[in-house]
Structure 1
Amino acid sequence: MTTEVRVPTLGESVTEATVATWFKKPGDTVAVDEMLCELETDKVTVEVPSPAAGTLAEIVAAEGETVGVDALLANISEGDSAAAPAPAKKTEAKADAPAASGASVDVMVPTLGESVSEATVSTWFKKEGEAVAQDEILCELETDKVSVEVPAPAAGTLSKILAGEGTTVEAGGQLAVIAEGAGGAAAPAAKEAAAPAGDTQYSTPAAGSGRSDVEDAPAAKKAMAEAGISRDQVQGSGRDGRAMKEDVARAVAAASSAPAAAEAPKAPRAPVAADDAAREERVKMTRLRQTIARRLKDAQNTAAMLTTYNEVDMTEVMALRNQYKDQFEKKHGARLGFMSFFTKACVHALKEVPEVNAEIDGTDIVYKNFVHMGIAAGTPQGLVVPVLRDVDQKSFADIEKEIAEKGKRARDGKLSMAEMQGGTFTISNGGVYGSLMSSPILNPPQSGILGMHKIQERPMVVNGQIVARPMMYLALSYDHRIVDGKGAVTFLVRVKEALEDPRRLLMDL
């Protein structure tokens, strides 16, 4: 009996994914709910479990292929009799290979996610000839959403790398070959020992690179060989001090400019285009950055976006926070920040102006009788927006704990796709970076986003007296197709009132 493995539902408004990684290969035995593969969408990675126990008879969608919802991924042969087929990815060992190595295993590009058909090889953590353990991370692929780690499908020796760093690969494409068995691990050492001194393809990085086990990018090695410069002249900017092609270009430019500086010409010469080009650095946009750029531009092109501003006196919130923060942390195990106050204030305002919490679906307006709050978070890879669900029913402590937990996992790249979908309103805090005022861009299909900014003391007139007060500018960007100016201004005023007198939140005023 054969059971089909199909693409699961990928989430709201998501219709396709890219096969990033297969954890099993044809011929492998699988258990019910054992992870078979990983799909990558434009947001997160989705794991596909086995619907039945048996043998993975056939992989229909290879790594790198783009698949739609409910598309066929693979077939599983159920029952013990299915365990006979040999793995399709293995090949017979060559006659001159060590007897213990037995066979070779192909390392393939895993499923990359919905609508993602290709990736770029960003880093190899192993080099040819090194021994690898099963499931040890071999390399990292970069897509337009997330980075995908590729584990070793078997233990042995990494005998050949087919796609070097910087290479664009398609889902299902081949990355490398592993020679299985302990015998294969011994060969590389002898190979390296016999290699000529001038062979720089996989030489050990110089002391200037920071770590002796860090492998420089192949393009950088080639550039160093062509330019005739040594590794210690190059300052690596890659991970763990890895030298990249751009680092070599900078080193070459610095070396060529040094003699000219020593000559001390009598008169400065006019700059020429070649000099400018030598001082430029061209870096390809990451796939995540490309997707962020596309989505932000789509939001501007689709919505009738407008921004209204106000300012809030943070005196009362800051006093309340300072008074109770120690007791709050002692009881709840979470720090009391400003985000819970702003979240509660927005929930309060959204009840009065529900269109800010609604969305347009064709010719319909969909009003949400709940608040799923998106909290924008900056990560080294780019901006992500984890969603806190049903914040209208949560306490200050619940909100603070969830913000801290999701923020940490966002920075670690561990958020699931589901955790970044379904938001009805978003808060973006540019103040943590020092922004005094900005106009945030909507996160479609939402109709509103609140921008928080830096708290700065300014002279204010209070009861006829000029006093210094901690002030913050607030910005509400909204979709004018659904939210009128009156509603937007009312929303922002209600947020301001709730923050300037937090007691209003307790009494729902």
Structure 2
Amino acid sequence: MRHQPRKTQSGARVVEVRVPDIGEFTNVPVIEVLVKPGDRIKKEDPLITLESEKASMEVPAPSEGVIKELRVKVGDRVSQGSEILVLDSASETQFAAQAAPQEQAPPNQEQTSEEVDTEESSEVMEAPDAPPDAPLAPTPSERVVELRVPDIGDFHDVPVIEVMIKPGDRIERESSLVALESEKATMEVPATSAGTIKDVALKVGDKVAKGALIATVLSPDATTVPTSSLSSTQSVSSSPSVTPSLSTGRVDNADATGNAAENGGTEAARSNGEVHASPSIRRFARELGVNLGAIAASGPNGRITRDDIQNFVKRSLKEGASQAAPTNGMHLAPWPKIDFAQYGPVEVTPLSRIKKISGLNLHRNWVMIPHVTNNDDADITKLESFRQKLNAERAKTGGKVTILAFLIKAAVAALKTYPDFNASLEGDTLVRKKYYNVGFAADTPGGLMVPVLKGADKKGVLEIARETAELAAKAREGKLPLSDMQGGTFTISSLGGIGGTYFTPIINAPEVAILGVCHSEMKPVWNGKKFKPRLVLPLSLSYDHRVIDGAAAARFNVTLSEVLGDMRRAML
């Protein structure tokens, strides 16, 4: 970003703030002006929002100061170098630090080595000489490009929950590299250049911030990569990075619940789940506890503005509606606000990250899926006797076999018999899956997690027991990667080690059924001649009534009970 400094009588510097390098975009429309003359701003405060066909982005302030004059308005089209505004910089010293790398230093001023290094680091690196054992070396037409974490807002030390690339992978621009998860959001970092991955610098569990090195890529199009996305440590003077908005993708769970309010604007929550709002607007909504999915947009292209949020809050306060608990358009009574301390001592504890994330999903699933639960009992007397004998034989080698391993094996047999239970509803289409990935609920110190056992139909009971134990251990230790919680087709929630009889488990969308299991109990069962003691396992099958009817659910539970009563049926 180039600045044209002029010194005022008060000693402040007048800075002409311009559009930084925004890649290959030109004539990008200004859809929102976030400041006005007289505003006092801080460094990195958003000034304007731009929106191209591919992304929306905010242009941040290069330094703090007071807005003197605006040079753009909503609807203007800008490119790199276009003037945005005139800023009275707060400090001569600060401005000098900002202008140093962009303009030649005066004769009596020398650039520090730190500034020189920063300038050099913002350029695409020339490929170094590869050692003899290097797996990948650049050809004369290729250059080595560093892929770094872009500006991700106010987040620091964000954990890496998934690495989606490995050395040798061929990637395109915008291919996902890593997934990051903060307390507020999960985001994927896209590639800024196409090519072949040379080295990967991160692993699952690492914590990163803006500028952290993700990987290096051998790229034939290195010259097209915006340098702002590659600089490792940007000095105060380098062009402020443009903050990409996640609004062009799917809506975060925190924003997704609810229908658009009817206030005459464009419906914000589109049929494909998109909500158009800039990062600053999303932050503003989060600060007020407002659900963006419930707001009608009045901005260009259906974009939510600050005025839309403020008007929504005013209307909600006037009508007595509360957004603390999204209503999904059901016109529920406001959530009661009570000072519990007036009745006695209290302890206030924030929800864990897992509970906050899972709570949103559970609420959505319960509200949007018509649940019905079918309860039944399975006679597992013979199965339990066999399980205990098996564990006694394996006592020396280790590896305890739990009832969960048999439940998964039996569930797969039932799913093959009734394929609609191994499906997902996509609008008016039912997608039946020909693979069997069974999730199971794992109780962890942070809350409930659902690891997924992949390819359960191809594994024996002993292998299932070993893998489920490993996945549960990772979940309890907080080391379970995102890839091990995705791709499930059916879920089992077992409370067998705790107690209870029957309950209604909540379906894990986009699945259409979930099996709940409680503590087995010895009961007298009539066999036609007399009562005999039998070990009975309670089963609770919740199903999506849009896909499955009551008769099919009853048959599924009967089949499952028969298989658990005689596991030889799982081999048929």
Q: TM-score when scaled to structure 2?
A: 0.45
1:160-175 alignment runs, 5 A limit: none
Please list, as runs of the form range in 1=range in 2, the aligned pairs for 1:3-18 lying within 5 A after superposition. none
Deviations 1:291-341, CA, capped at 9 Å, x for gaps: 22211111111111110010011201111112222335657x522221111
One-letter amino acid matched to 1:297 = H
Unaligned residue ranges in structure 1 (runs of 5+): 5-15, 17-24, 53-60, 80-84, 92-113, 119-167, 169-272
Query: Between Structure 1 and Structure 2, which shows a larger proportion of helix residues?
Result: 1
Is 1:385 paired with 2:450?
A: yes
* Structure 2 partner of 1:363: 428
Kindly indicate whether structure 1 or structure 2 has the higher relative contact order, using CA contacts under 8 Å at least 6 residues apart. Answer: 1
Quick one: which amino acid aligns to residue 88 of structure 1? T
> What is residue 399 of structure 1 aligned with on the other side?
464
CA distance in 2 between counterparts of 1:62 and 1:340 reads: 32
Q: Counterpart of 2:513?
A: 448
Distance 1:386 1:412 in 2: 13
1:432 Cα shift?
Answer: 1.7
Counterpart code for 1:46: E
Q: Quick one: distance in 2 between partners of 1:340 and 1:495?
A: 14
State the match for 2:161 in structure 1: 45
Q: Distance in 2 between matches of 1:355 and 1:480?
A: 11
SS at match of 1:309: strand
Displacement of 1:459 in angstroms is 2.0
The one of 466, 469, 477 aligned to 2:534: 469
Maintained 8 Å contact 1:357/1:446? yes
1:315 paired residue number: 381
Partner of 1:298, secondary structure, is helix
Answering whether residue 233 of structure 2 is matched by residue 88 of structure 1, we say: yes
Residues 340 and 346, structure 2, Cα contact 8 Å, conserved in 1? no
Letter paired with 2:458: Q
One-letter code of the match for 1:492?
Answer: N
Structure 1 residues 344 and 276 mapped into 2: Cα distance closer, same or farther (>3 Å)? Answer: same
Letter in 2 for 1:281: E
Asked if 2 retains the 8 angstrom alpha-carbon contact of 1:460 and 1:469, the reply is yes
Asked if the contact 1:314–1:470 (Cα under 8 Å) also holds between the matched residues in 2, the reply is: yes
Corresponding residue number in structure 2 for 1:192: none
User: Cα 1:77–1:443, aligned 2, differ >3 Å: closer, same or farther?
Assistant: closer
Check the 8 A contact 1:35/1:48 in 2, yes or no: no
Work out the CA distance in 2 between the residues paired with 1:463 and 1:424: 39
CA distance in structure 1 between the partners assigned to 2:548 and 2:358 by the alignment: 25
How high is the sequence identity, in percent, across the aligned residues? 30
Residue number in structure 2 paired with 1:165: none
For 1:341, which of 406, 421, 432 is the aligned residue?
406
Aligned counterparts of 2:479 and 2:522: Cα–Cα separation in 1: 37
After the TM superposition, which residues 57-68 of structure 1 pair with which residues of structure 2 at under 5 Å, given as runs?
none
2:502 maps to 437
2:159–2:181: 8 Å Cα contact kept in structure 1?
no
CA deviation after TM superposition for structure 1 residue 71, in Å: 7.1
Kept in 2: contact 1:371–1:389 (CA 8 A): yes
Instruction: Count residues in correspondence.
Output: 303
- Give the aligned partner of residue 348 of structure 2: 282
Partner Cα distance (2:534, 2:553) in 1: 25
Aligned residue type for 2:233: A
Match status 1:299 vs 2:444: no
Distance (whole Å) between structure 1 residues aligned to residue 442 and residue 343 of structure 2 = 35
Q: Is the 8 A contact 1:429 1:453 kept in 2?
A: yes
Distance verdict in 2 for CA 1:36–1:460, change over 3 Å: farther
TM-superposed CA distance for 1:435, in Å, is 2.3
- Matched residues in 2 for 1:63 and 1:495: separation? 38
Question: Which residue does 2:307 correspond to in 1?
Answer: none
CA distance in 2, matches of 1:428, 1:498: 18
- Cα distance change, pair 87–451 in 1 and its aligned pair in 2 (3 A): closer
Tell me how far apart the structure 2 counterparts of residues 63 and 419 of structure 1 sit (CA, whole Å).
Answer: 15
Further displaced range: 459-468 or 405-414 = 459-468
Say if 1:33 and 1:49, in contact at 8 Å, map to a contact too. Answer: no
Aligned partner of 2:8 in structure 1 is none
The alpha-carbon distance between structure 1 residues 329 and 340, as it changes in their structure 2 partners (threshold 3 A), is farther
Give the superposition deviation at 1:450: 0.5
Report the AA paired with residue 357 of structure 1.
Answer: N
